[in-house]
C-alpha cells in the first residue's frame, strides 16, 4: 500500500527521530544537535499493530538504501546493519551446533548473519509485524540474501514477550532487537522486555553456557544492572557504525548463562 505522505508531527521525545516534509527527510540526534537532509521517496506504508510502518528509499552514492520508520521514529536502515550482524556473530561458538532465537526481524541482517555460519542448525524468528515479514521477502530480500528462504529458518508472527512466556524449546543463543532500547522506546509496552523478570524467563530458555544478546541504541547503566540481577556475566559492547562521514554508536549487551 503506497502512502503520499506521513504525519507532519514531530515526536517530542528522546528518540533518534525523523520528520518529514514532502520528499525531504530530516534526521535529529537524540539531543536534537544535528540535522541531515536526504532526498527520499516512500515506497510503502501500512498501518499495523505498532502504528504506521513506513519504508523509505534513498539513493546514496548511487546505491539504493532503505530506511524503516515506525510511528515517525527511525528504526533502522540498510546502510547501518553491522550491529545487527554482531548481535549473533560474536556469540556463535565455532564447531558447536547452535540453535538461535531472534526477537525482531528488522531488515533481516541478524538472520542473514546467523545463516552464514555452518554451526547454526536452526533459527527461530519472532516478528510481531506481518508487513515486516512481507518486506523481508520483497524489498529487503537482496540485502538479506533471501535468508528467510533458508531451510533452517522458521519465521513466526508473534509478540516476542508472549512467545518467551509460552516457549518450551531451549536455545544456545537468543538475540533481541525489538525496539530502540529502554531509553528510547518506540512502543512503551516493550519496556517489559528489559526487566529482570523477563530476563529470568530468557534464562530458562538458554542451554548451558548459552548467550542472551540485547541490542540498544544507548549505553544504559540501568539496563546493565537489571540484566546482572539475572546474568552476573553481562557486558556492554560498543559498535560504531559509520555512514557518509557520520559515526554513530550502538550497544550490544551480552549476557552469558553459567
Whole-number average pLDDT of the chain: 87
Residue 74: per-residue pLDDT? 87
Q: Which three cell numbers stand for residue 117?
A: 555460519
Quick one: which of 159, 8, 247 has its CA closest to 17?
A: 8
Inform me whether the pLDDT recorded for 213 exceeds 80: yes
pLDDT (tens digit, 9 = 90+) per residue, 13-28?
323 333 333 333 444 3
Residues 94, 15: Cα–Cα separation, whole Å: 37
Name the pTM for this structure. Answer: 0.86
pLDDT in tens, 74-108: 899 999 999 999 999 989 999 999 999 999 999 99
Residue 226: C-alpha distances to residues 16, 60, 195, 230 (Å): 23, 39, 6, 7
Strands 98-103 and 171-176: parallel
CATH architecture of 17-77: Roll (2.30)
In CATH, the number for domain 82-256 is: 3.40.50.150
pLDDT for residue 39: 59
Strands, E, within 132-229: which ranges? Answer: 153-157, 171-176, 206-216
Decide which of 58 and 156 is more confident.
156
Residue 52 bridge partners (DSSP): 47
Q: Has residue 232 got a pLDDT over 90?
A: yes
Cell of residue 130, nine digits = 506481518
Q: Tell me: the pLDDT tens digits for 36-47?
A: 434 589 999 999
Q: Where are the domains of the chain?
A: 17-77, 82-256
Q: Do domains 17-77 and 82-256 have the same CATH topology?
A: no
Residue 32 has pLDDT above 50, yes or no: no
SS3 134: helix
Q: What are the residues facing 224 on neighbouring strands? A: none
Amino acid at each position: 500500500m503506497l502512502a503520499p505522505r506521513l504525519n507532519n508531527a514531530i515526536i517530542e521525545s528522546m528518540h533518534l527521530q525523523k520528520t518529514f516534509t514532502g520528499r525531504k527527510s530530516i534526521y535529529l540526534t537524540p539531543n536534537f544537535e544535528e540535522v541531515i537532509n536526504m532526498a527520499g521517496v516512500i515506497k510503502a506504508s501500512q498501518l499495523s499493530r505498532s502504528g504506521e510502518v513506513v519504508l523509505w528509499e534513498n539513493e546514496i552514492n548511487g546505491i539504493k538504501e532503505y530506511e524503516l520508520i515506525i510511528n515517525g521514529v527511525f528504526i533502522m536502515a540498510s546502510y547501518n546493519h553491522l550491529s545487527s550482524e554482531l548481535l549473533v556473530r560474536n556469540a556463535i561458538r565455532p564447531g558447536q551446533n547452535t540453535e538461535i532465537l531472534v526477537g525482531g526481524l528488522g531488515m533481516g541482517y541478524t538472520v542473514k548473519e546467523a545463516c552464514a555460519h555452518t554451526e547454526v542448525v536452526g533459527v527461530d524468528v519472532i516478528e510481531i509485524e506481518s508487513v515486516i515479514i512481507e518486506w523481508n521477502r520483497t524489498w529487503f530480500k537482496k540485502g538479506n540474501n533471501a535468508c528467510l528462504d533458508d531451510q533452517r529458518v522458521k519465521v513466526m508472527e508473534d509478540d516476542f514477550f508472549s512467545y518467551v512466556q509460552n516457549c518450551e524449546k531451549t536455545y544456545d543463543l537468543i538475540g533481541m532487537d525489538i525496539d530502540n532500547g529502554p531509553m528510547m522506546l518506540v512502543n512503551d509496552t516493550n519496556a517489559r522486555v528489559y526487566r529482570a523478570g523477563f530476563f529470568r524467563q530468557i534464562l530458562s530458555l538458554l542451554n548451558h553456557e548459552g548467550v542472551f544478546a540485547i541490542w540498544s541504541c544507548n549505553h544504559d547503566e540501568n539496563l546493565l544492572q537489571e540484566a546482572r540481577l539475572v546474568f552476573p556475566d553481562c557486558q556492554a559492547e560498543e559498535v560504531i557504525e559509520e555512514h557518509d562521514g557520520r559515526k554513530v554508536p550502538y550497544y550490544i549487551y551480552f549476557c552469558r548463562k553459567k
